[in-house]
Amino acid sequence: MLQNTSFAIHPGNNNKENKRVLKDIGRVKDVQSDDGVVTFCCEGGTVHIQFYHEEVVRVTYARNNVVPLPTQAVTQQSKKGLFTFEHTEHMWKMQTEKLIVEGNMSPFRINISNTNGESLLAESDKGLAYNFQGDLVNFKQAHDQDRYYGFGEKTGFLDKKGEKMTMWNTDVYAPHNPETDPLYQSIPFFLTLRESLAFGLFFDNPGKTHFNMKEDKGSYYFHNETGALDYYVFAGPTLKDAIQQYTWLTGRMPLPPKWAIGYHQSRFSYETEAEVMEVVDKFEEKNIPLDAIYLDIHYMDGYRVFTFDEGRFPNPKKMVETLKTKGIHVVPIVDPGVKEDPNYPVYQEGMRKNKFSKFLDGSVFYGNVWPGKSAFPDFTSETVGRWWGNLHQYYTDIGIEGIWNDMNEPAVFNETMTMDLKVVHDNEGNPKTHNELHNLYGFLMGKATFEGMKKNLDSKRTFLVTRAGYSGIQRYAAVWTGDNRSFWEHLQLAVPMCMNLGMSGVAFCGSDIGGFAHDTNGQLLARWTQFGAFTPFFRNHSAADTIRQEPWVFGEQTEIIVKKYIQLRYQWFPEFYKWFYEAHKTGLPVMRPLVLEYPNDKETHHLFDQFLIGENTIVAPIMTPDTKHRVVYLPEGKWINYWTEDVFDGNRHHLVYADFDIIPVFIKQGSAIAHGSIKANTKQQETDWQLHVYPSNEDKVTYEAYDDNGETTSYEEGDYELYRIQVKLSESMIELVSNVEGTFRPSMDQRSIVIHSDVTYEKAIYNGVDVTSSMTIENGCTVVDLSI
């Protein structure tokens, strides 16, 4: 029809015009260095370069000459006086004590190297480019040996070399295949490992961004569709350094309450109070530890957030209190969609006080989610965030201390799966379309929720788990990897996904144990729970209309294994807590790929199916059905099989036997791990703290244990205990020297050192005092009781 009108000669019909033809940024027309920022005005736009730290440089490229504002992912400010700057007609150079950023003037190019003269990021023959559709692109040289890690929540293997990825928070119910992309989280940060040199890059843009790591002709590129091209480079020189630098910029997680690190049980949904109590009773009756139970969407009145259905949950306050006396926390789901219902106070108030996301003409955006037609708070406005945060008093008033944020991509049941991109967000008086800010929505909801809960809970720690997020989400929430399925392949997928999340600043992460959709089975649940016991977030969750998957559903054999591993989590609790503290302090993950600790060992570079807890424990889950063997790679040194005490040589692959009740775990010789007692939940005091020492020939093992009250934020003011102990072993003597930092003292009945060695010791000294009389032999190990 239209072809019969003048539309037939519309210039947009010309294919050549429609092509996204890239144009080079061109030559520098003018350069200025002012106030800590060097500005290059080029033919194709303006580049600003500034330093946040000697090791952290920020480069922004926009078509106009305004320095773009960083997103809320960034917690630091740029600093003046960190660099020197010089330029000629042909070249320019900025230098700090750690980084050299330099390049050509015509065409404008940026090359970043460290002060040892090693090139980190050089631009390929193409550099910065743009097109008239608003895309800005940066091409970087790729080296053959480069490996890429991070990128947040992505399917596939650990190393992302050769992958193409998009950052656009998306509710993907099915499928989660190796090529499924994007998922719920957008963390546009990655690490490059080049032989033994490493560095990081964070591409800070909350709209849709792309990374093409396919290395076409020795280069890769990344680009955005809206806003400026805005990236930070972190100098490394190790992977760990680069993660620390990135989390310095985007923040680190506060310590969660101890209960958040225990075992959690969930289901879509435990639909009534009676059902919740029945599940909890069963845990008690069967003596299976439990720290939290989740309320999925059925708890609400017609899926209205901040309500309980009175019929299903007649007395939520009493239920929460009763469970709390047992040491079990209730975590309700809170989605962003607010039901359009003039009788519903949250909707009413949101409308009256202008809290919802709107179009430019002032009309509210409505989308269909669980409650039907719903409005969505505009979290880009701080007052809306505060309003939402304060609403959580509804939960804290009845004793709830943790929240589960879901559907916050935001997910909408429509073709685009999200909010209309033409919605214009308030953005603190700097209005931007949803298209430009999409990936921040879940992050900002998490921020509002965390801050509201924190305020309402006063000095108590809160816990939040979220599905969607952006860089920096670790400041507010743990992340779970969304709607996986009860497939062995999805158990396999979870391992590199969690490791890459960990390398992207999100130390507190995990997958739905047992699998969410599809029916699980006993063996899969058992193997997944074995793995889950070693993931930072440990929650069993399953979808409506699937087979139930509580620990006891699949008969006695499965129950015994599942229970054993839930209990094991509590035994390993002091060890986990130590690494959570480390993540809080440094940003380094709890669950680590081997490449993080052994970057010089090439065998670790692509190792995606085994991981470390902290530095010295290797976990190698079994992830195929009816399988009792697997290959485990052990890096340099000697390694002790945690279950059998057999010693294995490092730098080798081993075929390891693991019956259905065993997950292969190895401890590095010359190190130690801390254990506690098996408990009903973390509310119970520690009664038996043991440091298991696996001595090597060097015979000197040091360990730093961390503890605090696990409940309040007083650790921030020094109310913690860092207990450092050195274990020196000579032919017949054990010498223990300890010191303590912080004001907290755990009330522990027993603290002991367990030496895993067949040497017969005759004497033990603890901080100069003879404690030989408290030495015993148990299970072939020498135990020194320090509480005497």
**What is the CB-side half-sphere exposure of residue 672 using CA atoms within 13 A?**
28
CA distance 292 to 328: 5
Q: Which residues contact 355 (CB under 8 A, 6 or more apart)?
A: 349, 377, 378, 384, 387, 388
Catalytic residue among 163, 181, 409, 426: 409
Nearer to ligand GLC, 224 or 542 (CB): 542
Of the residues 163, 204, 378, 406, which one makes contact with ligand GLC according to CB under 6 A: 406
Catalytic residue among 291, 406, 550, 582: 406
Identity of the amino acid at 529: T
Of the residues 246, 268, 313, 694, which one makes contact with ligand GLC according to CB under 6 A: 268
Query: Taking CB under 6 A as the rule, does residue 309 contact ligand GLC?
Result: no
Phi, then psi, of 101 in degrees rounded to 5: -120, 115
**Residue 541 Cβ, how far from ligand GLC at the closest point, in Å?**
6
- Give the pairing of strands 99-104 and 91-95: antiparallel
CA distance 657 to 678: 26
**Residue 404 Cβ, how far from ligand GLC at the closest point, in Å?**
8
Identity of the amino acid at 59: V
Which residue bears the tokens 């997950």?
663
**Residue 525 Cβ, how far from ligand GLC at the closest point, in Å?**
17
CA distance 656 to 646: 11
Residue 478: both structure tokens together: 């743990």
Residue 44: both structure tokens together: 């194709």
**Residue 610 Cβ, how far from ligand GLC at the closest point, in Å?**
27
Window 473-492: residues binding ligand GLC (CB under 6 A)? 482-483
**Residue 565 Cβ, how far from ligand GLC at the closest point, in Å?**
22
Distance from chain centroid for Cα 437:
21
Window 359-378: residues binding ligand GLC (CB under 6 A)? none
Phi, then psi, of 616 in degrees rounded to 5: -125, 5
Distance from chain centroid for Cα 245:
16
Query: Taking CB under 6 A as the rule, does residue 303 contact ligand GLC?
Result: no
Nearer to ligand GLC, 407 or 620 (CB): 407
CA distance 779 to 777: 7
Q: Are 670 and 698 in contact (CB under 8 A)?
A: yes
Window 529-548: residues binding ligand GLC (CB under 6 A)? 541
Which residue bears the tokens 């429609």?
18
Specify whether 778 is catalytic.
Answer: no
Window 105-164: residues binding ligand GLC (CB under 6 A)? none
**Residue 210 Cβ, how far from ligand GLC at the closest point, in Å?**
25
Nearer to ligand GLC, 389 or 482 (CB): 482
Nearer to ligand GLC, 233 or 333 (CB): 333
Q: Which residues contact 330 (CB under 8 A, 6 or more apart)?
A: 276, 292, 293, 294, 295, 319, 320, 323, 399, 400, 402
**Residue 23 Cβ, how far from ligand GLC at the closest point, in Å?**
42
Nearer to ligand GLC, 506 or 620 (CB): 506
Residue 448: both structure tokens together: 């509002």
Nearer to ligand GLC, 467 or 527 (CB): 467
Nearest CA among 29, 25, 101 for reference residue 59: 101
Catalytic residue among 123, 483, 575, 686: 483
DSSP 182-240: --SEE--EEEEEETTEEEEEEE--SS-EEEEEEEETTEEEEEESSS-EEEEEE--SSHH
Distance spanning both ends of the chain, measured CA to CA: 93
Nearer to ligand GLC, 370 or 580 (CB): 370
Specify whether 406 is catalytic.
Answer: yes
**Residue 293 Cβ, how far from ligand GLC at the closest point, in Å?**
14
CA distance 298 to 103: 59
Residue 218: both structure tokens together: 């020795």
**Residue 468 Cβ, how far from ligand GLC at the closest point, in Å?**
10
Nearer to ligand GLC, 291 or 296 (CB): 296
Nearer to ligand GLC, 249 or 407 (CB): 407
Q: Which residues contact 16 (CB under 8 A, 6 or more apart)?
A: none
Specify whether 762 is catalytic.
Answer: no
User: Rounded to whole angstroms, what are the CA distances from 769 to 264, 632, 774?
Assistant: 43, 42, 11
List b or e across 645-666, with b for residues whose CB sees 16 or more CB atoms inside 10 angstroms. eeebebeeebebebebebbbbb
Query: Taking CB under 6 A as the rule, does residue 297 contact ligand GLC?
Result: yes
Query: Taking CB under 6 A as the rule, does residue 333 contact ligand GLC?
Result: yes
Nearest CA among 750, 426, 784 for reference residue 574: 750
SS3 492: helix
Query: Taking CB under 6 A as the rule, does residue 296 contact ligand GLC?
Result: yes
CA distance 308 to 228: 44
Nearer to ligand GLC, 107 or 152 (CB): 152
Q: Which residues are catalytic?
A: 406, 409, 483
Binding residues vs ligand GLC (CB under 6 A): 268, 296-297, 333, 406, 467, 482-483, 541
